[in-house]
Amino acid sequence: MTNLSERDGVITDPSLLYGISNEWKSRMIDQFDSSELIQDWAKTKIQSQRIPRNLFWIGIGVSQTF
């Protein structure tokens, strides 16, 4: 499977890989009568999350010395 995270900005979400409902979704995708490429794309689309590329941190404070 090709890693497209550098181009599409999404990574695999671990909470969407494991568990009964997630395994059921994966089995249902495997049962579709389609090419392996489409099945891999569907699994990747369901199990992905978007992470913000930029994080801006603004700190405002006052410092006083006596």
Evaluate if residue 59 carries a pLDDT over 60.
Answer: yes
Q: For residue 17, what pLDDT is reported?
A: 83
CA distance 6 to 15: 21
Domain-wise residue ranges, the chain: 14-59
Residues 8-32: pLDDT tens digits? 677 778 888 888 888 898 899 889 8
CA distance 31 to 39: 9
Burial of residue 45, with CB atoms counted within 10 A of its CB: 0-12 exposed, 13-18 middle, 19 or more buried: exposed
Q: Is 10 helix (H, G, I), strand (E, B) or coil?
A: strand
CB 29 within 8 A of CB 66: no
CA distance 12 to 47: 6
Q: For residue 56, what pLDDT is reported?
A: 78
